[in-house]
Structures are given as C-alpha cells and as structure tokens.
Amino acid sequence: MIRLSRMADYGVVVMTHMAWRRHENQTAHQVAAGTGLPEATAGKLLKVFARSGILTSHRGAHGGYELTRTPEDISVAEIVEAVEGPIALTLCVDEHPGHCGVEALCPMRGGWNRINAALREAFEGLSLAAMAFPAPPEFAGPGGRPAVGL
C-alpha cells in the first residue's frame, strides 16, 4: 500500500482548515480546536507552512497565520512537499541522485522517474480549494449515489 505520512495527512487537514477561514488570522490553538489535532502538532505544521511561504505569520496580540495566496493557487503538491520533501515513490528521482547504491546499474531508473513524475503531476493538479470545497455531484440520486440513465 502506498500512503502519505501521518504528518503530510495532518498538513492537508490544517491547510483545509486555513482555507475555510482564509480571511481570518488563525492561531495554533484555534487550528487545533478546529481540526482536533494536538496544539503542538498544529503549531509545528503552521511553522513549516510559514517557512515554505504557503502561510504568513503575524506576531502580537492579534497575531496568527493566514494564507499567502487563494486556495485555488495552492497545490496539494506544495502542501505535501513542505512537510515531506519531494513527492516520489522511490528515492531514485532526478533531483536527488546518489541516494541508491545501485542507481548507475539500475534498469528501472527511467521507468520510476516516469511514475514519480506522473504522481507529482497528479498532486500538482489538485488545489487546496478542491480539497476544502469539493464540488457536489451534478446528478445525485437517492442516498447521494449517481443517478442512473441521466
């Protein structure tokens, strides 16, 4: 099974919360209360996102964090990479040579790079807005299932 780390998953949760409140400064305490995450985890992620430029921080009595761009202009790739680094299934990615002891002899390197690029493209094609404000199904039938025959 391929899955994101818990921190990357929490990062998407935190950024979704920030998108919902994009016109408000949010403190770590408010983000923790709104997401159900421990305050230390929320605070750590907020700092990571501020360092990466996705959020901006404001100090003082009315301080907190806010989005630097609209949710439509922030990709899920940016969020995941801020927490985890480059998006890839394998260590043999173009930008990071030397991580594998057999990369010079590996016949799969080119194939894995194609898969890594496709995965990254999928994450780049999904915006924070799509995660925070998913579109309802156009033709929903009973129970929210797609209507048949429309």
Q: What is the pTM of this model?
A: 0.78
| Residue 115: predicted pLDDT | 82
Residue 41, pLDDT > 60, answer: yes
Q: What domains can you pick out in the chain, each with its CATH number?
A: 6-132 (1.10.10.10)
106 vs 93: CA distance, rounded Å? 13
The more confidently predicted of residues 142 and 38 is 38
Mean pLDDT estimate for the chain: 83
| Residue 147: predicted pLDDT | 46
pLDDT digits (tens, 9 = 90+) for 90-109: 766 555 555 666 666 666 65
130 vs 122: CA distance, rounded Å? 13
| Residue 119: predicted pLDDT | 87
* Average pLDDT for 18-26: 93
| Residue 16: predicted pLDDT | 96
In this structure, how many other beta carbons lie within 10 angstroms of the beta carbon of residue 49? 25
